[in-house]
Structure 1
Amino acid sequence: MPKRKGIPASSDAEDEQPEEEQEEAAPSTHKTTTISDGSRVVCELSRNRKVAVKKFKGKVFVDVREFWSKDGEDLPSKKGISLPLEQWEMLREHIEDVREVIASFT
């Protein structure tokens, strides 16, 4: 199997999670909070990983991103992904497929 950047070559590595991903999940809240860049945080997946909705250059994105703290304020990092609405809708349409595959691994 060819090795791609950031993707483990062996299936054994797929079962291991980096330490940063093993952090305990924070309780998710349903109320949104606005951060300094105008994004609205919708939920916290873990202490440092959040789902936000933002508007950039006139387009709306769903942003799954790691955050870092500076002077008591949570700021978005470069580590994450911003999905345009079309891709977000495609992901939503395939959630049941994702669930089925997850179930096949457990």
Structure 2
Amino acid sequence: MPKKKAAESSSDSDSGPDDRTPVKKAKKTDEGFSLEFGKNRRVTVSEFKGKVYVNIREYYNKDGAMVPGKKGISLTPEQWKTILERQTEINDAIKEL
């Protein structure tokens, strides 16, 4: 079965050009670190069951409060470190597309 190209993906989680909003400053909250980027998206650093996670997640408005949705990923600090260490490779791949 041939691979789908990124543009042919059926996922609706990427809103494309609508995501070009300015990045807001990161802030430290009672729950941990939080950085908003794009439309209703955040990177947070928090603790859950005694372990630290980097969460990249979409949020939605529920009764006037922004709450985390199902779309997202939780990374361990080791996984996050791997991404950061390989950012040059990732950026090069982006430039090639």
Residue in structure 2 matched with residue 53 of structure 1 by the alignment: 45
Q: Distance in 2 between the 1:101 and 1:52 partners?
A: 25
Note closer, same or farther for the CA distance 1:25–1:33 as it changes in structure 2 (3 Å cut).
Answer: farther
- State the SS of the aligned residue for 1:21: coil
How far 1:25 moved relative to its partner? 3.3
Question: Does 2:46 match 1:40?
Answer: no
Find 1:24's aligned residue among 2, 19, 22: 19
Find 2:86's aligned residue among 94, 100, 103: 94
TM-score by length of 2: 0.80
TM-score by length of 1: 0.74
Question: Does 2:57 match 1:65?
Answer: yes
Give the total of aligned pairs: 94
Residue in structure 2 matched with residue 10 of structure 1 by the alignment: 4
Question: Gapped runs of 5+ residues in structure 2?
Answer: none
Question: Does 2:73 match 1:75?
Answer: no
CA contact (8 A) 2:24 2:37 kept: no
Question: Gapped runs of 5+ residues in structure 1?
Answer: 3-8
| Fraction of identical pairs, as percent | 35
CA RMSD of aligned residues (A): 2.2
How far 1:26 moved relative to its partner? 3.0
- State the SS of the aligned residue for 1:102: helix
Higher strand share: 2
Q: Distance in 2 between the 1:20 and 1:93 partners?
A: 26
